[in-house]
Amino acid sequence: MEKFLTEFKVVANRRLNREYVVIELKHPSELPEMHPGQFVQIKVENTPSTYLRRPISIHDVDKKNNSLRLLVQEVGDGTRWMGTLIPGQSLNLIYPLGNWFDVSASDKPLLVGGGCGIAPLLFLGKQMKEIGISPSFLIGAKSASALIELKEYEDIGDVYITTEDGSIGTKGYVIHHSIMRTDKPNFKAIYTCGPEPMMKVLAKYAGSRNMDCFVSLENQMACGFGACLCCVTETIHGNKCTCIDGPVFNSKELKW
């Protein structure tokens, strides 16, 4: 798939809470094809500690307006700099990178996100809805204040919530929600992105019920195109680069 290096214009940078912002970017012309699960590499300016680009997954694409959105969690100098971007500024992107989720692999999918891992699930859920599949979402967060953009997910399908402190939804982790505890779950496949321990539990859950579980790995990346090998993950087919062979894998392929 062809890759592009393009300057986008920042159209909006909306702060959702203390940690998260959503950046809307406008492309100068028609956007190329992009798929849910793919990511962009962003050039970070003005911070000496961030000479490498930062990988950010594609949160949403609006083909009509040639714009895309990125959900950014401020965790270091690079992402904090992204939080300061203002409308009119330019942002240099290499995109679209990586493989993607198989949107039509199941007619009853459950999309499970934890933390910033919910980012690609919005784009995924929208594409599923477009082809007549009704996804459900299970979102895990530390507390009610960490839940973001719920309305956007509710517009696509049913949304179930767990929080570690029980301030909203079921208390505990995603695996503790009642929809996961029934013998006959109302879904046939899991698509997930978030902390690795959460995805490992979901992979085990799916494996024991003979379901597919598609995971999007958040391994650390540097080059983003298979040169530095810093993102390697072990699979039954040997070591694979998360940036070009992933980030999406069927959990059955992973040596977890």
Interaction between residue 105 and ligand FES (CB under 6 A): no
Which of residues 56, 94, 198, 231 is near ligand FES by CB under 6 A?
231
CB neighbours of 195 closer than 8 A, spacing ≥ 6?
A: 114, 115, 117, 218
Cα 103–Cα 174–Cα 204 angle in degrees, nearest 5: 70
For residues 171 and 162, the answer to whether their CB atoms sit within 8 Å is yes
Which of residues 229, 234, 239, 255 is near ligand FES by CB under 6 A?
229
- The site that binds ligand FES (CB under 6 A) totals a number of residues, namely 12
The token pair at 15 is 């702060």
CB neighbours of 214 closer than 8 A, spacing ≥ 6?
A: 101, 102, 105, 189, 190, 191, 192, 248, 249, 250, 251
Provide the sign of the torsion angle of the four alpha carbons 252, 129, 126, 144, taken in this order. Answer: negative
Question: What's the closest the beta carbon of residue 220 comes to ligand FES, in angstroms?
Answer: 8
Interaction between residue 37 and ligand FES (CB under 6 A): no
Which of residues 117, 120, 140, 224 is near ligand FES by CB under 6 A?
224
Which of residues 217, 243, 248, 254 is near ligand FES by CB under 6 A?
243
Q: In terms of CB distance, is 51 or 104 closer to ligand FES?
A: 51
Which of residues 150, 222, 252, 256 is near ligand FES by CB under 6 A?
222
Under the rule (CB under 6 A), what is the footprint of ligand FES?
A: 221-224, 226-231, 241, 243
